[in-house]
Amino acid sequence: MSIPVPHSTLPLGGRHLVLGLSGGIACYKSAELLRELTRAGASVQVVMTDAACHFITPVTMQALSGLPVVTSQWDAREPNNMAHINLSREADAILVAPASADFIAQIAQGRADEMLSLLCIARPVESCPLLLAPAMNREMWAHPATRRNVAQVLADGALLLGPGSGDQACGEVGDGRMLEATELRDELIAFFQPKLLAGKRLLITAGPTFEPIDPVRGITNRSSGKMGFAIARAAQEAGAEVTLVAGPVALATPRHVRRIDVQSALQMFDAVLPLAPGFDVFVGTAAVADWRPVTAADQKIKKDGSGVVPTLAFTENPDILASVARLNPPPFCVGFAAESQDVARHAREKLVRKHLPLVVGNLGPATFGRDDNSLLLIDAEGERALPTADKLSLARELVREIAERLGRSGSPA
C-alpha cells in the first residue's frame, strides 16, 4: 500500500501507525482519534475486526485516513496476500483502540483467527510495539478473567493506555471506558519521546502566588503557569517521575504528573522544602511573590468615603529556590528569571547570588499568558538562546539540556 508521507515537523511526524478497532461502542471515539493522530503528523493504516464494522463503517475510517481499511486476513490487495506481515513491518507501532475484553483475551491466549489479532501476533516485537486502549463495561473490566488476561498481555510486552473512569454507554459509571481521543494522542506522542530522564525524579513549581490583603483581594502577577506545566509534561514524557507544585492557575494537570495546589508563597515554600531532598532535579518556574502583606484583614477593607487610602506594610517571603539550592546535597537546581529588561544581566546575577548551575531567562511581559516564548539559558560558561517556539517545544529542549547536564556530571547534585 502507498503510505502518505507525514509532516516531519509535527509531534508524530515521520511516524506510521496501525490503528486497530475491535468491537465496542467506543469505536465512535476512534474516528476522532484518527483525526488527532493525522493532525499530529502521523500516517495511519486502519485495521478493523468484523465486530468493529457493526459500530462504525470502514468507509468513514478510509475517508479520514486516506488509506484503504483492512478487514480480512484474506485481503488479496497485497501482492503476496500477506497483509498481516506487510502492515506490521511498515508500522512504528500498533494501537488498538478500542481494545475489547474479547480482543485482549485473544492476544493473551495467542489466538490469531482474524486479521487484527493475527497482525498483532505476527508483528516483530522488538520494532513494532503494541499499545492497547481498553474499552468495556466496568464489570467486564473488573472480572477476574479480564484481570488475568491484562496481566498476561503486559507480561508479553504490550503497553496499556487506560482505561479511564466515568459514565459508560450502558448507563453505569466506573472504570473501563476508553480514554478520550486527545488523551490517547498525547499518550502516543509521549511514547515516542526519548526517555532521557528515565529513573529521575523532578520537582517543579509553576504559576503565580497569591498574597491575600483581605478575604477578597490580594497581590499576584500575570504568570499563567503554562511554561511550568509544559516542563512537567515534557519531563514526564522523558520518563521522569514528576511532582508539580502549582499556584492558582486554570490548567489541566499533565497526565501521570502528581500535582499539589497552593495559593501563597509560604504555602509553596512549605510544600517544596520537605519534598526537595528526595528529588534529583528542582525546576523553579513559578513566579513567586517577593513580598507579602504583614497582616491580612479578617474582613474586606471598605472604602468609607473619607479619601484615606489604607497603608499596607510588607515583609519578605522566603526564597524557595535559594533554600533548595542550599540543601546538602542539593538537587540539580534550575531557576527562572522573568524580567522586564536586561534579561541576561539579571539572570546571571541570579545564577551567582543563588549558586545555581542553570538559570532560564525570559521577558515576563512578553510571555505571561501566551502559548509561545523565547528563552535564554545561562550558566557559568556562557549563554545560549532558544528562539521563539511553542512552550512545549521549548520545554522538551530544556529537558534535553537538563538530561545532558545530569549525564555530564554523573550525578544530580
Residues labelled catalytic: 170
Nearest one of 60, 67, 80 to 18, comparing CA atoms: 67
Please name the residue that has the C-alpha cell 515534557: 234
Residues 6+ apart with CB under 8 A from 228: 204, 205, 206, 207, 244, 246, 283, 285, 286
Cα atoms found within 13 Å of the Cα of residue 85, Cβ hemisphere only: 5
Angle (CA) 248-250-252 rounded to 5° is 115
C-alpha 243/C-alpha 134 separation (Å) is: 27
Strands of the 358-363 sheet, one edge to the other: 258-261, 241-246, 201-206, 281-284, 332-339, 358-363, 372-379, 382-390
Q: Are 284 and 323 in contact (CB under 8 A)?
A: no
Amino acid at 251: L
Nearest one of 277, 204, 191 to 237, comparing CA atoms: 191
Amino acid at 336: F
